[in-house]
Chains A and B, each alone.
Chain A
Amino acid sequence: MARYATLLLVGVILALVPLTTGGSPYYSRITTLMLVLMVYAVAFNMLFGHTKQLFLCLGALAGSSAYLSVVLTRELGLSPWATIPLGILVAGFLGGLFSYVSVRRGLGVIFLGVVTLAFSLIFYNLVLGLRELTNGETGIVTQGLGAGILEGPRSSYYMLFALLMIALVLYSALMSSRVGVAFRALSDDELTAELAGIDVTRYKVIAATVGSLLMGAGGAFYAYYTGLISPALFSLISVDIVVLITLVFGGMGSLVGPVLGGAAVTVIDELVRPFGQLNVLVYGALLIVLFLAFRGGLVAVLRKTAKLPIP
């Protein structure tokens, strides 16, 4: 129950954000991108926070979905409403496949990390190489979906807000069902979980598939919102690393961790921006200091200070 109360609170706060930014297009864009980051972080939380699957192809999954949809729409004249679901499904399928293969081959966390890292680089180079379809580094101009959807700052914010809430509700529903128990058990000890009758493969693949579907959805929404997609938007540095920092900073394995992390990283990003060239250095230093100072992330700090069992 605490889960749904928290969800409501998060929903209300995020729904009110556009009112505080006034009409500023700059802040509207920043806050919309923050929502994208939160969606990514919810996805990664299922993958890594709950089932210890280190996917280093988050950007590539989001990008596969985005590029597939945008390129098919452009080349074949299909409706984005048809290609977006296709892109999302492909991302989900790829994630599920990586998970299935890695569990059945008994790959440890690092090996899965490197297999997905290789996929990530393959994706990046494919997009660069298939210039006729993707325009290479230049990228493809995109536009909203018509009828005010993903068009204009406010509508876009609320579309991504809706996606985030769907992601969070889905997450809560999974976590309060037996799937959630299975996630907890297998992240504690896979062998014991398996011996207790839990199909570890199945639950890891579920986590990976749902997480990858969310990455795909986030990527596709982002693509039509942002106006121009290029491989740089989906690179390891601009997605995977940032999402990892977001989740670790917010708190792994919790409902509000990705939300808190997303907000915090967005704020830090704004604070560091004036330093220009220096921001990479500041990010690195922050990552080290924050992670050493509180391992459990912001959620753990909140739980301690507020003495509340925040989900």
Chain B
Amino acid sequence: MSPRNDVVLAGERLTKYFGGSPALKDVSFRVEQGEILGLIGPNGAGKTTLLNVISGILTPSAGRVLFQDRDITGMRPHAIARLGVARVLQTPRPFLSMTVLENVEVGALFGGRDRRGKTSTAVDQAEFALRLMGLHDKRDHPVGSLNLQEKKMVELGRALAMGPEVTLIDEAMSGLNPAEIEDSMRLIQRVRDELKVTIVWVEHVMKAIMGAAERVMVLNYGQVIAGGSPGEVARDEGGSRGRTGSCPCSGT
């Protein structure tokens, strides 16, 4: 329905202070419908803070967050999640008393707006998400028995079971081996292509993000210092090394 280039999520001059120093300063951005936006920068650059501000975990000191032209600044996380902005945390924090399926089902039950156009139950939505994640075989396992990558997939599955417009992913790759990185990267692209979910993706693993994202935004010291296609940003990076210092975001 909506053509590409519609702005689905935007930040306007977002600023966040912790004590005296700003973790974010005048950060403005736009995310277009259906794109994968990569968010990169060294440790402490404010990437996770930005995601926390978007998903309502933190309230910005100044600035606004707009989702589908609606001001969502200061709304609580569950309300933002229900509107259609899902969040995947960097370290998985699953519901440990539940099975894999139950974990994902919670997302469908509470955050759920059915994106697949037919009325389906929370279980159906959860099973659909689990198939996509390749975890359907383990649906009845206690979630604590999974390995790190699987747990990350459960978190992503729960987010997708909510039927979001936008998914904010924080470091999907950290702690994974090269084969797992390859799998996860493909999966994130598939999610975008098949479910038409817009993705904002914070990542340290440069290879993954440069391969999968259409656009990249670089944060440092809480400010946007560069943006554009991965190719452009990579060229800029080469030219302005001195500015970002020794960028530790050059991982494998």
Q: Smallest distance from the beta carbon of B63 to chain A beta carbons, Å?
A: 21
Q: Smallest distance from the beta carbon of A191 to chain B beta carbons, Å?
A: 6
Say which one of A23-31, A82-90, A125-133, A193-201 lies at the interface with B. A193-201
Q: A182 near B110 (CB under 8 angstroms)?
A: yes
| C-alpha gap A197/B82 in the complex (Å) | 5
Q: B110 near A178 (CB under 8 angstroms)?
A: yes
- Chain A binding surface SS class: helix
| C-alpha gap A185/B102 in the complex (Å) | 10
| C-alpha gap A191/B170 in the complex (Å) | 15
Q: Smallest distance from the beta carbon of A185 to chain B beta carbons, Å?
A: 5
Q: B76 near A196 (CB under 8 angstroms)?
A: no
Contacts of A198 in B (CB 8 A): 78, 106, 110
Question: Is A270 an interface position by the 8 A CB rule?
Answer: no
Q: A197 near B57 (CB under 8 angstroms)?
A: no
Question: Is A280 an interface position by the 8 A CB rule?
Answer: no
Q: Smallest distance from the beta carbon of A253 to chain B beta carbons, Å?
A: 9
Q: How many residues of A are counted as interface, with CB atoms below 8 angstroms from the partner's CB atoms? A: 19
Question: Is B38 an interface position by the 8 A CB rule?
Answer: no
Question: Is B220 an interface position by the 8 A CB rule?
Answer: no
Question: Is A188 an interface position by the 8 A CB rule?
Answer: yes
Question: Is A75 an interface position by the 8 A CB rule?
Answer: no
Question: Is B191 an interface position by the 8 A CB rule?
Answer: no
| C-alpha gap A197/B97 in the complex (Å) | 18
Contacts of A184 in B (CB 8 A): 95, 97-98
Question: Is A173 an interface position by the 8 A CB rule?
Answer: no
- What is the 8 Å Cβ interface bit string for chain B, positions 102-116, against chain A (1 contact, 0 not)? 000111011110000
Q: B57 near A191 (CB under 8 angstroms)?
A: yes
Contacts of A185 in B (CB 8 A): 95, 98, 106
Q: B81 near A197 (CB under 8 angstroms)?
A: yes
- Given A184-B97, A184-B98, A189-B94, A195-B106 contact (CB < 8 Å): no
Question: Is B64 an interface position by the 8 A CB rule?
Answer: no
Question: Is B93 an interface position by the 8 A CB rule?
Answer: yes
Chain A: which residue is nearest B56 at the CB level?
A: A194
| C-alpha gap A193/B97 in the complex (Å) | 13
Question: Is B25 an interface position by the 8 A CB rule?
Answer: no
Q: B93 near A192 (CB under 8 angstroms)?
A: yes
Which listed residue, A187, A196, A199, touches B106 by the CB 8 Å rule?
Answer: A196
Q: B109 near A178 (CB under 8 angstroms)?
A: yes
| C-alpha gap A191/B93 in the complex (Å) | 8
| C-alpha gap A196/B167 in the complex (Å) | 12
Q: B95 near A195 (CB under 8 angstroms)?
A: no
Task: List 10 additional A-B contacts (Cβ < 8 Å) besides A185-B106, A193-B95, A200-B78.
Answer: A181-B110, A184-B97, A191-B77, A191-B89, A195-B55, A195-B89, A196-B110, A197-B78, A197-B162, A198-B106
11 sampled A-B residue pairs with Cβ under 8 A: A182-B110, A185-B98, A189-B96, A192-B89, A192-B95, A195-B78, A195-B81, A196-B81, A196-B107, A197-B112, A199-B79
